[in-house]
Structure 1
Amino acid sequence: MRCTKPFLFVVFLLFQVFAFAQQGLKSLHGKIISNEGSKEGVTIINVSKGIFVVSDDAGYFDINSQAMDTLRFISPTFLLYTYVIKDADFDRDPVLFPLERNKSGEILEEIIITKKPSHIYTYKSKGPSPVERKLASATSGIITPLINLINGRTAMLKKALLYEREGFRVEKFLDYIPPERLTTQFNIPYDYAEGFAFYAVLNDKVKEALVITPVDVHYLEGIITPLAVDFLDLINQDDKKMLNNKTE
């Protein structure tokens, strides 16, 4: 009984510190998309808050921020990219950031190179995924689950698991309908192929088609045909907005 009060006090203190530190900030869920180059290890800096995170091997990241904060994406693989966060971005899940491959040969100084794992986990891999293992570890035991519940790690890992599974669906989608096919058959610009794949796998019929083994590619292509038309309309609308902003 004597140990209970100090433990509860520590838990309460941890909760208060975490709540104070996060006051006014929201977690922005982002995803780097590119048809060229590894999306892992891109440094995303919130220059307005002085904090940074690094993207995972699928290009996902979460960073605390507010509307009007400026994000800067730094990587030797991609050109420098800057983005100003909008209020609407916090309702998007995830926010897609298309990065352009650095083909000039110029690299940033003081790049730290780390050894990459020899095995990259994909939707074809056997056994629990990396995020599934982390979530199992974070929710095992007695004290650890409580601490992870308070500091938000459990919620973050559950969200990451959803992202991971969505990423697996995109990988599978592009295995059966590669970017070249999307370009020639559906007129999707090559640079937007991965973005369209993310757009398509949100559709319930596409999800169901990808679960069936083997995947019926003819049926899948029939499903995505109207989705491709809608996606091209969205691209054209964005292009018109950018053009209007430049002329104003």
Structure 2
Amino acid sequence: MPTKKLHTLFLLLLAQVISAQTTNEKLLIGKIISNDVAVEKVNILNATTGKATVSNELGIFNIPVKIGDALVFSAVNLETKRRIILEEDLSQERVLIKMSERITPLEEVKVNQNPNINAENLGIIPYGQKKYSPAERRVHEATTGSGIVPLNPILNAISGRTTMLKKEVQVEKKERLLLQLDGWFEEDYYVNTLKIPADYIKGFHYFLIEDTDFVRALKAKNKTLTQFLIKGLALKYKDSLLVEQK
């Protein structure tokens, strides 16, 4: 067959392929929302064909597509979204596209630009003075006094007030540990990895802060060590639950 005829035949076949691809296209109608609110002026690009459009004030758009086309949705204040067109998309009257707001991280704000300036440097408190929590301060006041025979500590000891205040200090420390532990691991980690029922996670927290090694790792913010310890403690906690349920 002459070369000219082969070239003509190739062009005819190519035209048929292009025509078939175009015939398979369908007008996709969709609506774009963000936080349940319609979004206008979102750019929609069919990355496969190069065709593009923009959503209107109601968030509505339409663009020719076929199965397998890749659509790219972008806007200045939204996270870019990509979607591959499936057969089910073409069977719907309107496709709903949900987009998320773009979060711009703020620069670190330094509250104290002069860390060397503090209450000690300004002479407000003496150098090296111990800093007490509210509960620790009450214990300190109850166990110290003035004069030859400090009556305040003696009276508090007799009345039992000192013992009560010391218990408050322990409670306060445990509250700080619980606060630090809250959010240290995701709920999914407790439920799916450690197999702790969701209703028992808070109780498991109280169980954890009774373990000296775990508390030491938690205070040191050693996540690797706490993950190692928590697996063994989870087994002990679940065993204790089984005993209580019998």
TM-score of the pair, normalised by structure 2: 0.42
TM-score, with normalisation over the residues of structure 1?
A: 0.41
Structure showing greater relative contact order (alpha-carbon pairs closer than 8 Å, 6 or more residues apart): 1
Name which one, 1 or 2, has greater alpha-carbon Rg: 2
